[in-house]
Amino acid sequence: MDFIGVFPILATPFDDGGNLDLESLERLVRFMAGLGVAGVTILGVLGESNRLLDAERQQIIACAIKAAAGVTRVIVGASHAGTQATIGLSRMAQDLGADAVMIAPSQEPVSSESRVFDYFQKVAEAISIPIVAQDHPASTQVQMSIPLLLRLVDEIPQIACIKEEAPPTPARIAALIQGMQSRQVPVLTGLGALYGFFDLESGAGGFNTGFAFPEVLMKIASEMRAGRRDEAYRLYARFLPLLVFEQQPGVAIRKELLRMRGLLKTNHVRHPGAGIAESSVMQLHALIERVLPGIDITQPLLI
């Protein structure tokens, strides 16, 4: 895997009773693969991974890999508060056929960058597939310094990508790319693509986020790679209101968008997560009509 391009983070579908909806997951994976994404990520922060049983995780991984059918890559989120548990989840993903795992550290009573390094090193020693190191302090409450991230790249060969989500992301992405001397790995941006244009300008290799219209991100990234920055910015500006609206806390808005696209049967968020408010549904539908007037969003967008 070269970790260049767009890797959508998928929502975990549930039925109205809160049970896994593997049929919708299969449809979601196949739709993304049909768009030509570089890969998909399952069981991320906004995949409600912390609300799943281990047996459910196993079902989700197996279903996604089967649906991907070798057409697209599958990255599996395997983070856990315990190192041994992270190793176990990573091995599960590897044994089920995942192409890579994504892991992030967890908060400890006494913060220690050396322990964070040990965490990644111990996981790497236990598996043979690549690791995406996620830097997302909003969810982990762990601040990973640029020197620590560079050390991970320099000393752990299985670290194949950095997912940078610690604002200010443009400056940190530039610092990471400039700081990688002995070995270069791609840096992907997330955070709902809120700062996407600026992150790409700073050298990001693509997106690893859950925006419900990944074909938009694919087009923005391809325009940037082709040197057409003005066109990339025009597209970014056009969809920025939708990016901002979707990036509100929680996953309910994203799930409603995916439901509107015909990919999920329901927008159910597993408890204690909150569902979408009726007023937000009305605003979202009005926003879609403003940004994509008269367009059938159940079909891939022609950008």
CA distance 260 to 19: 20
Which two tokens mark 18?
């809160």
Between helices 146-155 and 113-126, what is the axis angle to 10°? 30
**Active site (annotated) includes residue 265:** no
Percentage of the chain with pLDDT > 70? 100
* The pLDDT of residue 1: 82
Give domain limits for the chain.
Answer: 5-291
* The pLDDT of residue 109: 85
* pLDDT tier at 206, thresholds 50, 70, 90: very high
* The pLDDT of residue 116: 96
Q: Which neighbouring-strand residues pair with 6?
A: 207
| Mean pLDDT, rounded, for 184-202 | 98
* The pLDDT of residue 91: 98
Total length of the chain: 303
* pLDDT tier at 303, thresholds 50, 70, 90: confident
The overall average pLDDT reported for the chain is 97
* The pLDDT of residue 93: 98
- 8 A C-beta contact, residue 138 and residue 125: no
Is the pLDDT at 108 greater than 90, yes or no? Answer: no
* The pLDDT of residue 291: 98
CA distance 259 to 61: 21
| Mean pLDDT, rounded, for 242-268 | 97
Percentage of the chain with pLDDT > 90? 96
Q: Which neighbouring-strand residues pair with 40?
A: 74
Of 66, 163, 219, 265, catalytic: 163
* pLDDT tier at 111, thresholds 50, 70, 90: confident
Residue 27: phi, psi to the nearest 5?
-65, -40
Instruction: Choose between 1 and 51: higher pLDDT.
Output: 51
Is the pLDDT at 294 greater than 80, yes or no? Answer: yes
Is the pLDDT at 110 greater than 80, yes or no? Answer: no
- The SS3 of residue 143 is coil
pTM of the model: 0.97
Can you identify the CATH homologous superfamily of domain 5-291? Aldolase class I (3.20.20.70)
* pLDDT tier at 276, thresholds 50, 70, 90: very high
Torsion, Cα 226 230 235 239, to 10 degrees, reads 130
CA distance 66 to 62: 6
Per-residue pLDDT tens over the stretch 33-65: 999 999 999 998 889 999 999 999 999 999 999
